[in-house]
């Protein structure tokens, strides 16, 4: 087709689009909603996935191991590391183990107990009846990605036994400031000195994980002391650098012996645990893909509906155009141009809207949606293709009819 | 030389028991330069015939030669090109695109021909001047009167300089003054050399025609040549209750038309019978 004809078609299309603003408004709205819902759902899914992944990957390393009660990590168990600690019954705890003694076991080093105590915490500004207290030692940092914003982590050389490190949120709530170094926090009646404050930890959205931002970390022995040995040990982290298999084997039989030859505990690598969690992650990925596919369908149907509503009206118009000599190809082309313009405008608005919603979600929740350019291109292509297909359906349908049959519909 | 040559054209609508014969083996020749009026009661097949002649519809049977080409069984795109270049169709209900202004409506056929936009504008302006609504170029259809809309529709039909203009009840929605203006416009176009076929229910308008074709039940029952400026003889019979004023009177007029045509019908049938009996001899 000559370029002048192309331009004519384009100009007339603009004219026509302008003169049917109301109908086009709905068409564009359909595209905008379809497109931005697809982008947002995929972006939110990706964001959650990446946040979960980040937390797990950080601690997966080959020479890091963990002991935990079998009941919480049987190979097929659905519960896994940290996701639902709070639901585990105390009977599953590892309290009977001599945590300090493990350190002298041959080949084992950097043993870090992970125990949780729920008790009264009193600061200067406010207090908690049942705050989360994590009893552990300086090695915990090797296994969980915690970093200190101000001061130092617990149990550093020179620190008193009653030193505490607190999460940033809790610091603010208890003391009204982010770095209350040197302040005294009263835990279950005993005074502890704040030696450090954690950097904010990215939480897994919607999970029931212990929120480190709202926890106090103290020495494991101190935790047992102030609670008459009631701090429940959920996991014991440790490092085994050489002869991993034989060390794990002998440690396992040692544990079973202590336990009256019942194998109630399980030793796995941290990455082994992560492997377990990855299955959850994969499930999440599949769920997200499924939801995205549905939203794509819903978006597509939305665009389709708006386009189909105007078919009768458009069919009459096509009849007129054919009566004055338009060929089928010319009519289909014109409709393609028109729906391309509408889809394009709708696409742009949809993308802008997605970014606005993204911003809103980031500002108001802990979810951080990830909008990649690939996602934007993919979603836009889909919505434009749907727009084009359904925008030109009346033309394609009418192309098969005699002009008089199109003229009769109105 | 004939511009239109129909032979044995039939049109059946629907299938099986629900089918109806809208055109019953019609044969008709129209020469270049004729100005033909088509009359007949409602449902007699006038529009169906116009649609087939205008290539908006296809006959179920028969052959149609337009401008020396057989056109009854063309591919859609070939038919579209003939509609564009050879035929101008004027509808009773104007059929302008409400979303385009008048000048864009009028020049739309040129878009499909690939004419440049400046030339389109020039041609459309000329033609709108010719039909007398040049001051309405940039108005939209909903801002114009019926007469002005029909003038615009005629301008659109004219813009490709077609050999044939078909107008199906072009004055059907207009008052008598606008009707006259439109008919005079068509007469002018006819004088410029176009062949025109128009359908009307108004016997008065046969004054403008050079020939009147009467239809009934899908057949042509009478075909008369008539001098310009005079109401056709057969059509005149319809005017006998000459003081038609109310709707009732109009209905009376229609029934007179029916009777008249019935009469013509019988006479033509007897003629045919005579012919066939003659042939037998
Ligand atoms: N699309 C259609 N489907 C079925 N029947 C049709 C169709 N179009 C026309 N007919 C039938 O064909 C016959 C002729 O109709 P047509 O419209 O040609 O009449 P007409 O002479 O133009 O009448 P009017 O003066 O009312 O316009 C009628 O019986 C009509 O019912
Ligand atoms: Mg009709």
Domain residue limits, chain A: 3-54+277-408, 71-263
In angstroms, the separation between the Cα of residue A1 and the nearest Cα of chain B is: 8
Among B98, B99, B140, the strongest candidate for a mutation testing the A interface, having the largest count of A CBs within 10 A, is B99
pLDDT, mean of residues B78-104: 94
- The phi and psi torsions of A148 (rounded to 5 degrees) equal -95, 130
How far apart, in whole angstroms, are the C-alpha atoms of residue A272 and residue A279? 11
pLDDT, mean of residues A201-219: 72
**Whole-number pLDDT of residue A217:** 92
In angstroms, the separation between the Cα of residue A348 and the nearest Cα of chain B is: 25
By the CB < 8 Å criterion, does B112 face chain A? yes
Name the pLDDT band for B279 (thresholds 50, 70, 90): very low
Chain-chain contact of A4 with B56 (C-beta, under 8 angstroms): no
Supply the mean pLDDT for chain A.
Answer: 78
Give the Å distance between the CA of A135 and the centre of ligand 2: 94
Residue A97 has pLDDT above 50, yes or no: yes
**Whole-number pLDDT of residue B89:** 96
Q: Which residues of B touch A320 (CB under 8 A)?
A: 95-97
Q: pTM, whole model, 2 decimals?
A: 0.66
Residues ≥6 apart with Cβ < 8 Å to B150: B90, B94, B170, B171, B173, B174, B178, B182
pLDDT more than 70, % of chain B: 85
- Which residues share a beta bridge with B89? B166
Question: Lowest mean pLDDT: which of A12-26, A58-72, B224-238?
Answer: A58-72
Q: Which of B10, B12, B13 to mutate to test the pocket of ligand 1 (most atoms within 8 A of CB)?
A: B13
Beta-carbon pairs below 8 A across chains A and B: 88
In angstroms, the separation between the Cα of residue B246 and the nearest Cα of chain A is: 31
By CB neighbour count within 10 A (0-12 exposed, 13-18 middle, 19+ buried), where does A191 fall? Answer: exposed
Of the partner residues B57, B95, B104, the one whose CB lies closest to the CB of residue A12? B104
Name the pLDDT band for A85 (thresholds 50, 70, 90): very low
By the CB < 8 Å criterion, does B51 face chain A? yes
Of the partner residues A7, A320, A325, the one whose CB lies closest to the CB of residue B80? A325
Q: What angle do CA A26, A28, A33 make, to 5 degrees?
A: 95
Does residue A298 or residue B261 have the better pLDDT? A298
User: Does ligand 1 lie within 6 Å of residue B13's CB atom?
Assistant: yes
Greatest Cα pair distance, chain A, in angstroms, is: 97
Of the partner residues A4, A11, A12, the one whose CB lies closest to the CB of residue B116? A4
Name the pLDDT band for B254 (thresholds 50, 70, 90): low
Residue-wise pLDDT tens digits, B98-118: 889 999 999 999 999 989 889
Residue-wise pLDDT tens digits, A342-359: 888 888 999 999 999 999
Q: Which residues of A84-112 are buried (b: 16+ CB within 10 A; e: fewer)?
A: ebeebeeebbbbebebeebeebebbebbb
pLDDT, mean of residues A321-330: 92
Name the pLDDT band for A89 (thresholds 50, 70, 90): very low
Does residue A273 or residue A148 have the better pLDDT? A148
In angstroms, the separation between the Cα of residue A335 and the nearest Cα of chain B is: 14
Chain-chain contact of B99 with A16 (C-beta, under 8 angstroms): yes
**Whole-number pLDDT of residue A262:** 67
How far apart, in whole angstroms, are the C-alpha atoms of residue B104 and residue B138? 8
Residue A205 has pLDDT above 60, yes or no: no
Q: Angle at which helices B117-131 and A3-19 pack, to 10 degrees?
A: 60
**Whole-number pLDDT of residue B39:** 95
Supply the mean pLDDT for chain B.
Answer: 87
Sheet-wide strand order for B20-31: B20-31, B2-13, B61-66, B69-70
By the CB < 8 Å criterion, does B252 face chain A? no
**Whole-number pLDDT of residue A51:** 73
Give the Å distance between the CA of A306 and the centre of ligand 2: 34
Chain-chain contact of B117 with A15 (C-beta, under 8 angstroms): no
**Whole-number pLDDT of residue A57:** 52
Chain-chain contact of B81 with A402 (C-beta, under 8 angstroms): no
Q: Note the Cα B102 to chain centre separation in Å.
A: 23
**Whole-number pLDDT of residue B263:** 61
By the CB < 8 Å criterion, does B163 face chain A? no
User: Does ligand 1 lie within 6 Å of residue B43's CB atom?
Assistant: yes
Chain-chain contact of A323 with B89 (C-beta, under 8 angstroms): yes
Chain-chain contact of B112 with A327 (C-beta, under 8 angstroms): yes
By the CB < 8 Å criterion, does B236 face chain A? no
């Amino acid at each position: 087709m000559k370029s002048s004809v192309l331009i004519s078609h384009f100009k007339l299309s603009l004219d026509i689009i302008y003169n049917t603003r109301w109908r086009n408004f709905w068409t564009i709205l359909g595209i905008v909603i379809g497109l931005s819902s697809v982008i947002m759902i995929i972006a939110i899914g990706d964001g959650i996935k990446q946040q979960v992944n980040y937390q797990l990957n950080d601690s997966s390393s080959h020479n890091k191991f963990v002991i935990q009660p079998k009941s919480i990590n049987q190979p097929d168990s659905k519960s896994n590391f940290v996701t639902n600690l709070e639901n585990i019954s105390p009977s599953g705890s590892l309290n009977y183990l001599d945590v300090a003694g493990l350190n002298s076991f041959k080949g084992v080093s950097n043993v870090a107990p992970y125990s949780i105590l729920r008790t009264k915490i009193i600061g200067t500004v406010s207090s908690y009846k049942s705050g989360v207290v994590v009893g552990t030692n300086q090695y915990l940092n090797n296994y969980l990605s915690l970093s200190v914003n101000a001061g130092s982590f617990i149990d550093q050389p020179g620190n008193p036994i009653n030193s505490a490190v607190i999460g940033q949120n809790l610091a603010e709530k208890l003391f009204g400031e982010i770095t209350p170094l040197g302040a005294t926090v009263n835990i279950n009646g005993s005074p502890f000195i704040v030696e450090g404050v954690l950097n904010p930890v990215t939480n897994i959205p919607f999970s029931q994980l212990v929120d480190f931002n709202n926890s106090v970390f103290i020495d494991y022995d101190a935790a047992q002391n102030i609670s008459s040995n009631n701090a429940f040990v959920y996991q014991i982290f440790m490092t085994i650098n050489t002869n991993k298999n034989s060390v794990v084997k002998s440690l396992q039989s040692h544990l079973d012996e202590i336990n009256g030859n019942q194998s109630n505990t399980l030793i796995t690598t941290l990455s082994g645990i992560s492997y377990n969690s990855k299955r959850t992650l994969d499930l999440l990925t599949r769920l997200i893909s499924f939801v995205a596919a549905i939203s794509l369908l819903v978006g597509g149907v939305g665009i389709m509906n708006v386009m189909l509503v105007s078919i009768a009206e458009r069919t009459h118009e096509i009849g007129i155009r054919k009566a004055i000599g338009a060929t089928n190809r010319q009519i289909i082309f014109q409709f393609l141009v028109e729906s391309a313009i509408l889809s394009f405008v709708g696409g742009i608005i949809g993308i802008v809207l997605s970014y606005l919603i993204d911003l809103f979600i980031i500002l108001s929740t802990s979810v951080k949606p990830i909008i990649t350019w690939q996602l934007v291109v993919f979603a836009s292509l889909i919505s434009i293709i749907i727009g084009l297909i359904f925008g030109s359906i009346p033309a394609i349908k009418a192309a098969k009819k005699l002009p008089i049959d199109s003229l009769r519909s109105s | 030389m004939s511009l239109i040559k129909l032979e044995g054209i039939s049109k059946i609508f629907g299938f099986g028991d629900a089918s109806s014969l809208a055109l019953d083996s019609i044969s008709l020749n129209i020469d270049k330069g004729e100005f033909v009026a088509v009359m007949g009661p409602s449902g007699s097949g006038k529009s169906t015939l116009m649609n087939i002649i205008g290539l908006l519809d296809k006959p179920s049977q028969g052959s149609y030669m337009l401008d020396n080409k057989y056109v009854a069984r063309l591919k859609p795109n070939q038919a579209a090109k003939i509609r564009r270049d050879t035929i101008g169709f004027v509808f009773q209900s104007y059929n302008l695109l409400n979303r385009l202004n008048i000048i864009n409506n009028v020049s739309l056929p040129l878009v499909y021909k690939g004419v440049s936009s400046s030339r389109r504008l020039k041609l459309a302006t000329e033609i709108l001047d010719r039909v007398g609504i040049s001051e309405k170029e940039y108005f939209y259809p909903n801002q114009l009167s019926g007469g002005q809309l029909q003038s615009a529709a005629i301008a659109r039909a004219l813009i490709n300089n077609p050999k044939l203009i078909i107008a199906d009840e072009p004055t059907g929605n207009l008052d008598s003054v606008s009707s006259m203006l439109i008919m005079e416009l068509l007469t002018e176009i006819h004088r410029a050399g176009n062949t025109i076929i128009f359908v009307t229910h108004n016997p008065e308008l046969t004054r403008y025609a050079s020939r009147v074709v009467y239809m009934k039940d899908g057949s042509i029952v009478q075909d008369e040549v008539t001098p310009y400026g005079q109401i056709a003889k057969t059509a005149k019979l319809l005017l006998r209750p000459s003081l038609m004023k109310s709707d009732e009177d109009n209905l009376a007029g229609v029934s007179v038309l029916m009777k008249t045509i019935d009469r013509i019908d019988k006479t033509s049938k007897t003629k045919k019978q005579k012919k066939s009996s003659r042939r037998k001899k």
